[in-house]
Structure 1
């Protein structure tokens, strides 16, 4: 069908006006006869429109800054054509300007070639100036301008130019239409793209396979895969390009099964896949097929190209197969920044941190400049160890040098790195330098303070976030609620619970678990149960938090009932933390036999090897029950060397049961492991005091002084009128400390008069160390 039909489109106002209206292009019709969504793109482009007028040659104003150039000769046009063909742009522009000054006609063909070269050289300003001054324009000129706009990221201006081309009377062809479709694709201009589809059908451009392929790409990027399928079905001569376009469309929209089905159909028809087909299908296939495709690529040498090798590397990265990824990486003859970054990310995710660093150093040595993805990947390798922590600061300096430190992705990766390495000051300083922090940035500074023990700062940061008009996400809220739990700040915790209710994330697993933990630690076990019941789904952390809440509040029976319910729930398998909570519950209520049963159950039934914490808990259970010899037997039967915490637990039990001999044994074992544990000295000294061995108690205290060991004072918090007060024993920093200690003395006198002070406390008060 001859391409003579010309669609009439309503005049499109310049992009600086309010809207780009193509409504006269049969707005109620579209190729698939189904209702269309009302989607008209904003018409204000990111680039100025052309003047679209024939210049006044007598005007004294010139379109360019003019300089004296080469002498004009009758062969200048031929020379200009040669310069353009050789892509010698500076020389070509100098000659072109001189020819324009002297009024020599360049010709529409040559000017179109020059525009195309300028656009490809990323000089759209100059291309528009040449276009503005052209006395005539043909279809090649307009197509070069539209394609150039798409290439330089000005898709909206490309659509506007296509409309103006039609209004100027220039008949469209398949190249111009394809360029216009690409412009619509770049800006997701669905309504305009549908009208272009109408133009293609009416003008007979469907005979051109490239128009159909452009439409498939357009509809797939707009999320309308069903329309892409209809376009594909209308292609009469299917080839590898058309199959690849629809396979890519499926993969782009996560329809991987459809992509594989179409790939199988292509192979069944005897159509051999090309490089683009293989790289597209690698995003959809299962590991076994991916390995087969790898073999096919090696056989056909497709893997030798950077593009295909990078796609193969991405496939192995997604499937967590590091060794094959390394093999592909090291066999690549050429590597780009994406290749290096993928390999670094692959190593980091697999925990091979030093390999990631070696690859990063190799990248820098090869002269490849790291981009945002590279930095966000390699920063994940930085850990609290001295070597890797120092590396984080160096990477921060390098990102500043590359002027991408404040790119939000890099900045967030830096925040996460400082949080992991415990550098809270650097974390907060960097956060304050970010001009527009996002939810991830706020969450990093909130959770970073929480993870490093700065619970009060975590709460303050979330309040700042909310005050600045940002809404926290579930992770930021859960960190702050956990900080409230650590501080036993019930009032603040309830306020954040209300915020979670308002945001609708109280039933989220992450936030719900934090709420269960909060109320459990604050002694509100009923609220903890309610938070648990409000959650739609529970993970192992949910059950563990509930069990610990029961255990720490002396509800041993309820804790064991919760364990039974958990075991009846599908996919809820207890872990080490679950059994530790069970043992804590048994310890607090004296369930010795149940503790022994669960201790055996964890290894016999669930194949969980008891840790030092589990053994220490069993020692505590036996010690509280007065069965110290059995506690010592448990220690002696441990499959590994007992640590300080285990022996200290036994020492504490000896103090409780007033068993001096066994207490001295436990203390001796502790001092063999460390001579700096102040609490052990205190316990041993008090144990001697309880038995009236004052000289031995004094010897223990003297050893503490000789070793310069200071008992770290216990810190307490109390919340009064929404203000948290923190203090230690004998603290005089409070402005009303004199009144406080006077009242405290009155309380002690009342206790003494009522004879409530037990012998144990007298010994501690007399001989030492204020805790």
Structure 2
């Protein structure tokens, strides 16, 4: 236990023996090894050394740290009369326990005080958040040196009073007290909190003037300062100039590259680090997981284990989240088993990640088992389970659990709204949104994105306007993502003028908003304007067209008869834009050719496709045949559509509709009989109308509306009135 102590002959070298005993007591105090300390104390009593001044002080500190009341009283008896060091220790112990009144009383009753006494009291009071009392003593401190000034400045920064800390720092300079490295570290942290770049640069000038530019802690704080304010070049210059770098230095610059989104450079920096610890490994695994590179996060976790580093809670949580995104259930189960083995499975953060893992892999049953096993659940854990049920279409379970959440936040509400949206319960999504507003919970951008999508799918202009008003009220109307959602909502609701206004007012436009506006114009019959906007995008922005934009362009060309122009854009997809066409692009080209009567060209185009065409492609050709009366080609297209329908049963519905539009009722009947044999069901037709801010939905051949009987009775009455009018 303390065998190295016995190697010293206490009679021949008493000073070395005492020095070693003091060192051991300090280590036992730091490591909380009170039993070891007790054993050493007993040995020192036997040797008559426990009352020796330095030994007694270290024993007292150890017992104060462990809060051993009996032993503290016994040690105090070892000191005859007033002892300044002992009094300072007692003041520190009381402050650490939060006994501010006792600490101040002890200090006030001291017959003499040194600079340690004053600094310890001021620093301790600030750590307890008692700023006013700390500053009261600071102003009366006779020892106006760098340590007392630094203690006050650091304490104010820790209490989020950075402005007051900077004023005190200026007073310190006026008092001609020179700062030290800890002073500068605290002052730079204050500049970070204030977000004042100019002030930070002024401090940097003084750092150089007073010769602290090579100090490791000060350099690290300056790198952090410039990083937090987005001055990446300045941060990198200081880092590159540092002669000495520690784990903190490397981790800070690593964070810089993550902030910049440069994952490749971040990985290069990590690989170059001469020293890594558990925190560094956890940080990079967490960052890769959060950045969406789940595979790299998992690879790094395996390397961490191979290098015999012990993962912490954050690391386990991050790698489980990465496996959830990869839907790697078996690997996740292995991590779960390891967490069980080391007793970390009850941790709420790991538990929340495990719930998310099982639910994303479609296993809500095991997710619920983990959820129920957690002794303590935070709101993240509740939200993970509600979101898991919603994701897997178990809305009844999601609603039941949602109602049990002790304290909901906007993520809780968003999970339920997203669940209704994912299950196409658009009206219900609005109901939950209204309940959220009434509860007093403030929506965020994710909330508005979901309800605007619900409004767009319902084509409910009134609901869309209501949500738009809320977006404006909560000051999200300048956000580019909200602007995009509003453009899409108004376009899908048929209010293309409102969509145009929002689009034109947006100061910056990304790929998504251009897509929404071009697509909205094309789908609302403004084909020529859609094409002009596409050309404007190519001329005025650096955004390259994507698959959806080019699909909208082809759709617009199809609907305004610009076949040659459409073919030009189609042929440019791979050559100019580097985008490989998909089935939807092929179908739109066939529709474009068929609409203009170029049916044989459309058939040749289909035959030249690299992959077997989808049912919609043949349906587009068949529709053109019907318009232009090409019966022979129609027969071939119908036969091909029938074959395509065998592989994609939804094609039967298309074929049935085509036969019905041509009056071929026997073929319709045969097709529907075949659908029944194959077990293919056509979803019922649905229409809706919005009245008094309420959407009324009607399905063909199904009477599910609350007032269905009353409506059909009125309809029957009207039919009777009409018939009597004409007879």
* Same topology, TM > 0.5: yes
Deviation at 1:724, TM superposition (A): 1.6
CA–CA distance in structure 1, aligned partners of residues 659 and 513 of structure 2 = 41
Aligned to 2:509: 538
CA–CA distance in structure 2, aligned partners of residues 518 and 91 of structure 1 = 64
| 1:129-148 correspondence runs (5 A) | 129=102, 132=105, 135-136=109-110, 138-139=113-114, 140-148=116-124
Asked whether the 8 Å contact 2:324–2:356 carries over to 1, the reply is yes
Aligned to 2:150: 178
Does residue 457 of the first structure (1) align with residue 428 of the second (2)?
A: yes
| 1:462-541 correspondence runs (5 A) | 462-470=433-441, 472-503=443-474, 505-506=476-477, 508-541=479-512
Aligned to 1:585: 556
| 1:533-682 correspondence runs (5 A) | 533-625=504-596, 628-650=599-621, 659=631, 661-662=635-636, 664-674=638-648, 679-680=653-654, 682=656
CA–CA distance in structure 1, aligned partners of residues 551 and 246 of structure 2 = 57
Q: Specify whether residues 350 and 651 from structure 1 end up closer, same or farther in structure 2 by C-alpha distance, changes over 3 A only.
A: same
Q: Specify whether residues 107 and 209 from structure 1 end up closer, same or farther in structure 2 by C-alpha distance, changes over 3 A only.
A: same
Deviation at 1:665, TM superposition (A): 0.8
Name which of structure 1's ranges 472-481 and 420-429 shifts more when overlaid on structure 2.
Answer: 420-429
Asked whether the 8 Å contact 2:324–2:357 carries over to 1, the reply is yes
Asked whether the 8 Å contact 2:328–2:361 carries over to 1, the reply is no
Asked whether the 8 Å contact 2:371–2:385 carries over to 1, the reply is yes
| 1:215-254 correspondence runs (5 A) | 215-223=187-195, 224-236=199-211, 239-254=215-230
SS at 1:386's partner residue? coil
CA–CA distance in structure 1, aligned partners of residues 271 and 686 of structure 2 = 65
SS at 2:210's partner residue? coil
Q: Specify whether residues 589 and 91 from structure 1 end up closer, same or farther in structure 2 by C-alpha distance, changes over 3 A only.
A: closer
Deviation at 1:570, TM superposition (A): 1.8
Deviation at 1:491, TM superposition (A): 2.0
Greater fraction of residues in helix:
2
Aligned to 1:712: 683
How far does the alpha carbon of each residue in 1:707-759 deviate from its partner, in whole angstroms, 9 at most, with x for none?
Answer: 555443211101123322111224444242233432674799799x9xxxxxx
SS at 1:124's partner residue? coil
Q: Specify whether residues 432 and 179 from structure 1 end up closer, same or farther in structure 2 by C-alpha distance, changes over 3 A only.
A: farther
SS at 1:634's partner residue? helix
Asked whether the 8 Å contact 2:561–2:596 carries over to 1, the reply is yes
TM-score (norm 2): 0.75
Aligned to 1:690: 663
Name which of structure 1's ranges 131-140 and 616-625 shifts more when overlaid on structure 2.
Answer: 131-140
Q: Specify whether residues 513 and 746 from structure 1 end up closer, same or farther in structure 2 by C-alpha distance, changes over 3 A only.
A: farther
CA–CA distance in structure 1, aligned partners of residues 689 and 67 of structure 2 = 79
Structure 1 residues not aligned, in runs of 5+: 1-69, 754-771
CA–CA distance in structure 2, aligned partners of residues 128 and 373 of structure 1 = 38
CA–CA distance in structure 2, aligned partners of residues 424 and 235 of structure 1 = 65
Structure 2 residues not aligned, in runs of 5+: 1-41
CA–CA distance in structure 1, aligned partners of residues 677 and 289 of structure 2 = 57
Name which of structure 1's ranges 500-509 and 342-351 shifts more when overlaid on structure 2.
Answer: 342-351
Aligned to 1:738: 712
Aligned to 1:190: 162
SS at 2:696's partner residue? strand
Deviation at 1:430, TM superposition (A): 5.1
Asked whether the 8 Å contact 1:81–1:110 carries over to 2, the reply is yes
CA–CA distance in structure 1, aligned partners of residues 334 and 585 of structure 2 = 40
SS at 1:718's partner residue? strand
Does residue 725 of the first structure (1) align with residue 696 of the second (2)?
A: yes
SS at 1:690's partner residue? coil
CA–CA distance in structure 2, aligned partners of residues 245 and 554 of structure 1 = 59
How far does the alpha carbon of each residue in 1:598-657 deviate from its partner, in whole angstroms, 9 at most, with x for none?
Answer: 322323322221111222223333444555554443333322233344445555556665
How far does the alpha carbon of each residue in 1:427-470 deviate from its partner, in whole angstroms, 9 at most, with x for none?
Answer: 54555455555555544444443343222123223333333445
Aligned to 2:376: 403
Of residues 88, 104, 110 in structure 1, which corresponds to 2:86? 110
Deviation at 1:421, TM superposition (A): 4.4
Q: Specify whether residues 211 and 570 from structure 1 end up closer, same or farther in structure 2 by C-alpha distance, changes over 3 A only.
A: closer
SS at 1:736's partner residue? helix
Higher RCO (CA < 8 A, seq sep 6+): 1
CA–CA distance in structure 2, aligned partners of residues 385 and 333 of structure 1 = 29
CA–CA distance in structure 1, aligned partners of residues 321 and 282 of structure 2 = 13
Aligned to 1:95: 71
Please report the RMSD computed on the Cα atoms of aligned residues, expressed in angstroms.
4.6
The count of aligned residue pairs is 659
CA–CA distance in structure 2, aligned partners of residues 206 and 287 of structure 1 = 42
Q: Specify whether residues 568 and 405 from structure 1 end up closer, same or farther in structure 2 by C-alpha distance, changes over 3 A only.
A: same
CA–CA distance in structure 1, aligned partners of residues 78 and 453 of structure 2 = 78
CA–CA distance in structure 2, aligned partners of residues 366 and 707 of structure 1 = 53
How far does the alpha carbon of each residue in 1:340-385 deviate from its partner, in whole angstroms, 9 at most, with x for none?
Answer: 4455567778998876775566455444568677677777767755
How far does the alpha carbon of each residue in 1:567-600 deviate from its partner, in whole angstroms, 9 at most, with x for none?
Answer: 2232232211122222333444444444333322
SS at 2:688's partner residue? strand
SS at 2:252's partner residue? helix
Of residues 132, 137, 140 in structure 2, which corresponds to 1:165? 137
Aligned to 1:47: none
Q: Specify whether residues 115 and 415 from structure 1 end up closer, same or farther in structure 2 by C-alpha distance, changes over 3 A only.
A: farther
